[in-house]
Amino acid sequence: MSTDDRQLSTRRGHIGDLVAGEGAPLAVPGRTLPLRTELVRQLMRRRTQVAFALVVAMPIILWAAFSLGEDDGPAAGPSLVDLASGSATNFAVFTLFASASFLLVVLVALFFGDTVAAEASWSSLRYLLAVPVPRARLLRQKAIVAGLLSVAALLLLPVASLVVGAIAYGTGDLVSPIGESLPFWTAVGRVMLGALYVVVQLSWVAGLALLLSVSTDAPLGAVGGAVMASIVSQIIDQIDDLGVIRDFLPTHHGDAWSALLARDVDWAEMTYGAFSAVCYATLFMGLAAWRFTRKDITS
């Protein structure tokens, strides 16, 4: 028997342990696939560990890049890059800006796109449903765990950036490109609020990745499809001739949290961006639930 066959046999052999909680009989569908069991299972996976390690390593990589880089002299005006080494909060702001448009998109797409499609690729999805785990419950439990992992990763990034920045650059005031400054602890709160906005704004990526996950047996296809949609949306958003059409793109308000860098925060764009993302997420997740409860499971 090959290594792959033995691994697949092991997965099938532990299906009962996976879907049943402690003392939960397999015949009770409402008690199958407990959140704790699924969360522990996902945390033990190598891709989850690598993802969180990458989040922690990102601020260290950026700090090393700043340390090794050369100063080209004063520019026409200060930018986020120029101000990044000014304080821990400036460094965290730069890290969040640098990561939000791609790295964090990939992480959210990975956690949600790998939910159902991974089970299908392992040929264990039909065994889970036969235990039985109701389809709606399976999708809900996996989406909740994927959401918890995504939120943890997205909030870990600014926390790690603040720690690395404090060690490297100190705890001075946050200075924005427009010249306004905020005290350290006020700035820390603004950075974390910005991270929370990114969490909400990327909910549309989560919904799309989940929809693709229930529509394919290839996890890479689901993850890649969601990431590609984000990239295409960002490219189209650069075309000024589209006018108001750009307002309906899911990525148009991705950087709206930059308003938090001012003393007086303008919440208008952030509110619209959050509302738009939640609408897209609701649509995609609704379609995912509709699709999954009606598709034929053959793997």
pLDDT digits (tens, 9 = 90+) for 69-112: 665 554 555 667 778 888 999 999 999 999 999 999 999 999 99
Domain extents for the chain? 14-62+85-292
Prediction pTM value: 0.87
Range ranked top by mean pLDDT from 15-19, 62-66, 208-212: 208-212
Query: Under a CB-based contact definition with an 8 Å cutoff, are residues 107 and 199 in contact?
Result: no
Query: Under a CB-based contact definition with an 8 Å cutoff, are residues 21 and 34 in contact?
Result: yes
Report the distance separating Cα 138 and Cα 17, nearest Å.
Answer: 15
The amino acid that residue 102 corresponds to is F
DSSP designation for 288: H
Tell me if residue 174 falls in helix, strand or coil: strand
Report the distance separating Cα 215 and Cα 115, nearest Å.
Answer: 11
The amino acid that residue 247 corresponds to is D
Query: Under a CB-based contact definition with an 8 Å cutoff, are residues 263 and 183 in contact?
Result: no
As a whole number, mean pLDDT of residues 277-295 equals 94
What pLDDT band is residue 125 in, cutting at 50, 70 and 90? confident
The model's pLDDT over 178-201, given as tens digits with 9 standing for 90+, comes to: 788 999 999 999 999 999 999 999
> Mean pLDDT across the chain, nearest whole number?
86
Structure tokens at 42: 């996902």
Q: What is the pLDDT of residue 7?
A: 47
Query: Under a CB-based contact definition with an 8 Å cutoff, are residues 125 and 297 in contact?
Result: yes
Query: Under a CB-based contact definition with an 8 Å cutoff, are residues 233 and 249 in contact?
Result: yes
The model's pLDDT over 3-12, given as tens digits with 9 standing for 90+, comes to: 444 444 445 4
The model's pLDDT over 225-234, given as tens digits with 9 standing for 90+, comes to: 999 999 999 9
Asked whether residue 163 carries a pLDDT value surpassing 50, the answer given is yes
The amino acid that residue 96 corresponds to is L
Q: In terms of DSSP bridges, do strands 181-182 and 174-175 run parallel, antiparallel, or are they unpaired?
A: antiparallel
Asked whether residue 247 carries a pLDDT value surpassing 60, the answer given is yes
Query: Under a CB-based contact definition with an 8 Å cutoff, are residues 23 and 128 in contact?
Result: no
Report how far apart, in Å, the C-alpha atoms of 194 and of each of 85, 142, 243 are: 19, 26, 26
CA atoms within 13 A on the CB side of 118: 18
- Any idea which of 131-145, 153-167, 236-250, 276-290 has the lowest mean pLDDT? 131-145
Q: What is the pLDDT of residue 26?
A: 46
